[in-house]
A and B are shown apart, each in its own frame.
Chain A
Amino acid sequence: NAGVTQTPKFQVLKTGQSMTLQCAQDMNHNSMYWYRQDPGMGLRLIYYSASEGTTDKGEVPNGYNVSRLNKREFSLRLESAAPSQTSVYFCASLRVQAMGETQYFGPGTRLLVL
Chain B
Amino acid sequence: AQSVAQPEDQVNVAEGNPLTVKCTYSVSGNPYLFWYVQYPNRGLQFLLKYITGDNLVKGSYGFEAEFNKSQTSFHLKKPSALVSDSALYFCAVRAALYNFNKFYFGSGTKLNVKP
Contacts and interface: CB of A to CB of B under 8 A. Distances in A.
A105 B9 CA distance: 22
B107 to A, nearest CB: 4
Interface residues of A, number: 27
The A interface is mostly helix, strand or loop, or mixed, namely strand
Nearest to B109: A42
Nearest to A108: B43
Contact of B101 (A31, A43, A90, A99): A31
A53 interface: no
Contacts of B51: 99-100
Nearest to B45: A105
Interface residues of B, number: 26
Interface in B65-115: 90, 92, 94, 100-108
A102 interface: yes
A56 B6 CA distance: 27
A101 B107 contact: no
Interface string A46-87: 001010000010100000000000000000000000000000
Contacts of B49: 100, 102
A42 B107 contact: yes
Nearest to A31: B101
B107 A41 contact: yes
Interface string B23-55: 000000000101010000111111001010000
29 contacts: A4-B43, A31-B101, A35-B105, A40-B9, A40-B107, A40-B108, A42-B4, A42-B107, A43-B44, A43-B90, A43-B105, A45-B102, A45-B104, A48-B102, A58-B102, A90-B43, A90-B44, A94-B101, A99-B51, A100-B32, A101-B94, A103-B34, A103-B44, A103-B92, A105-B36, A105-B44, A105-B45, A107-B42, A108-B43
Interface of B: 4, 6, 9, 32, 34, 36, 41-46, 49, 51, 90, 92, 94, 100-108
